[in-house]
Amino acid sequence: MSETLKTHLAVIGAGPGGYAAAFLAADLGMDVTIIDPEVNPGGVCLYRGCIPSKALLHVAKLLNESQEAARWGIHFQKPQIDLDQLRSWKESVVQRLTGGLGMLVKQRKIKHIRGTASFLDANTLKIIGVDGQKSQLQFNYAILSTGSRPAKIQALSLDSPRVMNSTRALNLEEVPENLLVIGAGYIGLELGTVYAALGSKVHVVEMLPNILPGADKDLSNVLYKSIEKKFASIMLNTRVAEMKALKNGVRVRFEGENVAQEEQTFDRVLISIGRTPNSDGIGLQNTRIKTDERGFIMVDEQRRTHEPNIYAIGDVAGEPMLAHKASHEGFVAVEAIHGQKAAFEPAAIPAVVFTDPEIAWAGLTETEAKKQGRKVEVARFPWAASGRAITMDRTDGLTKLIVDAESKRILGVGIAGPGAGELISEGVLAIEMAANATDLKMTIHPHPTLSETLMETAEMIFGTSTHIYRPKRGK
């Protein structure tokens, strides 16, 4: 007979959304139980996503810089790559972080059940442990944070060890001589950057006319110019029509307007076309919880589902599928459960692509402004005018501001260049605080830094940028 347990709050899934919610709930005095199959919290982000990929991107950056240093008179021998040691180091980073989270679970006296959960009704979960044991968990409240998984293309499903998703690509089984990346979104381009630095000839194919759908073209173009030199080819407006497993590779047939070679053979293929929410197989049919046509769980501004005592956060609750968005949704859900006035209504959620150069944006994009017919002003500060960028030999960057045409309130920020992911937070704060371009212009920034480019971009709104002569029209 299965055991019946009780808890005040059940958190299903222990990724950045789930564990952040569980930790806050415990800090507020709630009795909390986490259900997740891993030994420690972390979810896809820490185990198979954000963290291992950023560790490898750090290595890729070092390899690229060792080659770029020749321009400065510094010459290195060709690096020798110990793939086993690199893989072990990456895993040690994951273990250090997830192990630390495991300690925090114990310190907060949170119960952690290793297994998977599904709803029997709106107050009861059926749990199957990793050891096969079955139990039931009765709860007052639940937070669903089951995350997402790599999306598949049924027409291109191929039972071959040479075809990888993002999880397998991070395992670094080998460095293939020729790698095809299907999809030019952030995951595909980040992993392509890693493999290119390790020595693979990387080819990217994308159905759309630009890389990084969602980013403004002036930002993505900065990255395009860089990876065009590092990748073997970038095929835009092109689709994969067919894949066939061969003894020593995968033959791929392309369709598109500018396909130079209709059929090519690759050692490995990485399919990176987005992610699918994990909303199936968790017993939603036994509740009043509803999903939309894409499988995302429908929630209100407090992240409450159609069951008043069940909340959903993170990837399973809708886009953008970002770890930091999930964490903040978790905070809102817990605060609502605790009886506080809380709502998830950010003015800006930053997005960062950790390639080289990095691309980051937040708030209203220029593309969105045009679609909405909003009257805005856009200022772009080229890093060729930045003293700090010149000292780094990285003048390919760009900082842009999108402001309301009348009030000059900052509506959006975009940055392309090294460290863009660190710099974007100032832009996010400016948007959240409803700052205007004058506020940013008058904020003294240290010199010489890349952060100065935000200040100088704000100055350009008024035609007074120190290092760019671009007078305001009509002056």
List binding-site positions for NAD(+): 183-190, 206, 274
Structure-block tokens of residue 437 = 């371009």
Residue 429, burial from CB neighbour count under 10 angstroms (0-12, 13-18, 19+): middle
Structure-block tokens of residue 325 = 């968005």
Please give the annotated binding residues for FAD, written as ranges.
Answer: 54, 146-148, 315, 321-324
Active site residue 58: no
Catalytic residue among 75, 112, 338, 447: 447
- 121 — phi, psi (to 5°)? -160, -170
Residue 329: closest CA among 299, 358, 289: 299
Q: How far apart are CA 403 and CA 362, in angstroms?
A: 13
Instruction: Give the residue numbers annotated as catalytic, written as ranges.
Output: 447
